[in-house]
Structures are given as C-alpha cells and as structure tokens.
Structure 1
C-alpha cells in the first residue's frame, strides 16, 4: 500500500468539519476507514466516499424560496387560532373551593 493515509484531523481539515464529527461518524460506521489498533486512518478513496455520502441534493429553486415549516399544535396547524394559557393548578384549586 503506497498511498498516504490520513488521520481524523487531516480529513476534518479537508472537509471543513470538526475532528470530533469525523471521528464520531467513523466510530458509528458511517464513514469508511482503516483501523490499526486504536488508530483510524483514511485513504484518498475513503475521503471521496465520505464526500459522496455527505453530498446534499440540489433543491428546486433558490435557497430563499424554500417554504418555511408551519408550526403544528396538538390539533394541527395553529393558523387562525389564538393560543390561550391554562390557569395554573394552584389557582384552579383555590377558585374551585370558593364556589
């Protein structure tokens, strides 16, 4: 094997990511790597696979035209409904005893 092997820090620098993230992904089996004792090493082909795994598909339209997620309550979307706070239990007990 004549290829240069890279460690977590070198791969992280190439990807513009943190060393911890690269190490975690490899530890979880997401990223391919070589294992020598307790050391992880990556070949150039591993880095290419990691880049492909991390690739995001292009969205139709620009990033600014993405629809925003709508807030969802228990009964569905909260559009048009006014949210009303519940009376605290300690006050419910006081009011219930006075009636």
Structure 2
C-alpha cells in the first residue's frame, strides 16, 4: 500500500492515488481531478503524485461540513 517510508517513522509514508482514494472513500478519478485543479494537498515526485498522512488528514478536514444550528423556536 505505502509507496515510501519506514516502519520507524510513519509520517514519511507516501500513498498512491489508488490507496488515498480508497482511504477517503472517493474515486481515483475524483482525486486526480482535485490534484489537477490544485484543490487538495499532495506531493510531486517527478511525474508521480503521492499523498502523506497529513495530506489525507487535511483533505478530510477541509471536506467537513459543519451542522447548522436550528433557529430559535423551531
């Protein structure tokens, strides 16, 4: 699953498009589109695109939709 990194330091593990899409529950095509539009954080290694654990966390955080409070008396 991980592309690079060591077991001693999980923060250096980089994930592929396929692995990241699976973790996020989205299609690989959607993720590729978001990268092309520079809407999600990622790493470029030459022509390869990879995602760190912190990139994935940031994508999840940015996608969160907060609940709207109910109007008083509703």
Note whether the superposition's TM-score is higher than 0.5. yes
**Structure 1 unaligned runs (5+)?**
62-99
Name which structure has the greater RCO, CA cutoff 8 Å, separation 6+: 2
TM-score by length of 1: 0.56
Deviation >2 Å, runs of 4+: none
Work out which of the two has the higher radius of gyration on C-alpha atoms and give 1 or 2: 1
Q: How many residues align?
A: 61
Question: Which of 29, 34, 38 pairs up with 1:20?
Answer: 29
Matched, 1:45 2:45: no
Aligned to 1:55: 64
What's the CA shift string for 1:7-66, capped at 9, x where partnerless? Answer: 1111111111100111111111110111012110000010011111111111335xxxxx
Cα RMSD after superposing both structures: 1.4
Q: 2:64, 2:49 → 1: CA distance?
A: 22
**Structure 2 unaligned runs (5+)?**
7-11
Q: 1:48, 1:8 → 2: CA distance?
A: 15
